A and B are shown apart, each in its own frame.
Chain A
Amino acid sequence: MILVRLPYHLRNLAGVGSQIELDVAAPVTHRAVLDALESRYPMLRGTIRDHVTHARRPFVRFFACEEDLSNDPPDTPLPAEVVDGCEPYMIVGAMAGG
């Protein structure tokens, strides 16, 4: 079970609480988690990554285990603590705009 935390506005858009539990088949990568997230909550498509290229939107970041993983290639395996469900995969709205 993967724990995913969404930023405030995406929580409201998806109608969920602060943390989501997702079943993600191995290997657990950025792409796999985001695919599972968008499959369960299709209203999030296009809000985190581009519809077609799947490039991360510029003001969205991915954190886990106190690391900024935003620039990992999408098929990079996530840390074991995330795969084990001990640490959340955090989707964060970048601090911007003053």
Chain B
Amino acid sequence: MSGVRVLVGTRKGGFVLTSDEKRQEWHVDGPHFAGWEIFHMTGSPVAPDRLYASQTSGWFGQVIQRSDDGGTTWEPVGNEFLYEGDIGTHLHYDDTPRPWEFKRVWHLEPSLHDPETVYAGAEDASLFKSTDGGGTWSELTGLRRHGTGETWTPGAAGLALHTIMLDGADPQRMFVAVSAAGAFRSEDGGATWKAINRGLVSGNELPDPDAEVGHCVHRLAMHPSRPDVLFMQKHWDVMRSDDAGDSWHEVSGELPSDFGFPIAVHAHEPDTVYVVPIKSDSEHFPPDGKLRVYRSRTGGNEWEPLTKGLPQKDCYVNVLRDAMAVDTLDTCGIYFGTTGGQVYASPDGGDNFAPIVRDLPAVYSVEVQTLP
């Protein structure tokens, strides 16, 4: 019998939520790594019981955990993330140069082909790769040494590389996003990178309307069958590219707010996209106290609110950028977690939501594995 495994990273530990394909009854396992911040937990697409977790602490720094039994047991693996070569500087909030300094891993992205290969997106913004299951890590220096790197500045949460997308059709092509530098594409396995931010408008943050970098990209998404079509939740604006990021156009339509963090694409409908509007960059909660997922079935511009099973009054949580995911069952499931500790699941593409759990610590990340 098929089923799903939902991996939830929270401010105080990690949780593994499992269900059969009906997605009605859930088993909650955790907290794993209790008391630590779990920025991200995820699994290998080619070896689903191989999981990784980014475990961090202001006291004790970075730990990477690996499981080879679907999260029942874990072992710490390599946590040495060293910037290679001349360290150089980026800009701090006050525009003064600041040496690059590793702080934590925000996102782990396992290879689509090799269970031993995994990428890590870090703060300060940098990309690392392991080819031994997380035992050792090497920086892909071409990103940080992109010609604009010394001008990158942190977003409010830090200078973080938070999004990594791999192109299943072209193992050499990958995309990353950095707050607040923008989106970047590599065509050579991460050796060199091109900024792909043309069409982004960040008038409140950047005086130059044609700025190559400096955009606060919150999240990228794509459907694996159509890797040239990218969707982006920017600080403000929901954006779409039809040429792998070479140019972008806005598809926010009539969303109640085009500010937000996560964005996701339906597993079987490449033009069905999900966002969670948040009131503003100053007020990180849903407009009008109503938690609504918005769905577009037209690849943007036309959006419908999805409210069934979600609180429609007095709701003031946030949904962070890595906290939304989809499963690949026949009726695509949609999942997201909130800073209030709820994890919601919809087994029917967003028509109906129900909480899996209500009272976890603040949810940082949600990933879903569809199990055979």
Residues of A participating in the B interface, judged by any CB pair closer than 8 Å: 7-10, 12-13, 43, 45-48, 51-52, 57, 59-60, 93-94, 96-97
Contact = CB atoms under 8 A, between A and B. Distances in A.
Given A9-B35, A51-B82, A52-B82, A43 B76 contact: yes
A97 B80 contact: no
A47 B79 CA distance: 9
B59 A59 contact: yes
Contacts of B82: 51-52
Given A9-B35, A13-B76, A47 B60 contact: yes
Interface of B is mostly: loop
Contact of A46 (B33, B34, B61): B61
A96 B58 contact: yes
25 contacts: A7-B59, A8-B35, A9-B57, A9-B59, A9-B60, A12-B33, A13-B63, A43-B76, A45-B79, A45-B80, A46-B61, A46-B62, A46-B63, A47-B61, A47-B79, A48-B60, A51-B80, A52-B82, A60-B59, A60-B60, A93-B59, A94-B59, A96-B58, A96-B59, A97-B58
Contacts, number: 44
Contacts of A46: 61-63, 79-80
Nearest to A47: B60
B257 to A, nearest CB: 31
Interface of A is mostly: loop
Contacts of B35: 8-9
Given A10-B60, A46-B61, A60-B60, 4 more contacts: A12-B34, A45-B80, A47-B60, A47-B61
B236 interface: no
Interface of B: 33-36, 57-63, 76, 79-80, 82
Nearest to B55: A13
Question: Which of B35, B36, B63 has the most A CB atoms < 10 Å from its CB?
Answer: B63
Contacts of A94: 59
A20 to B, nearest CB: 16
Given A43-B76, A51-B82, A57 B63 contact: no
Question: Which of B61, B79, B82 has the most A CB atoms < 10 Å from its CB?
Answer: B61
Given A9-B35, A9-B36, A57 B60 contact: yes
B147 to A, nearest CB: 27
Top 8 closest pairs, chain A to chain B, by CB: A43-B76, A47-B60, A59-B59, A93-B59, A51-B80, A46-B79, A47-B61, A46-B61
Contacts of B36: 9
A12 B80 CA distance: 20
A96 B60 CA distance: 13
A59 B57 CA distance: 10
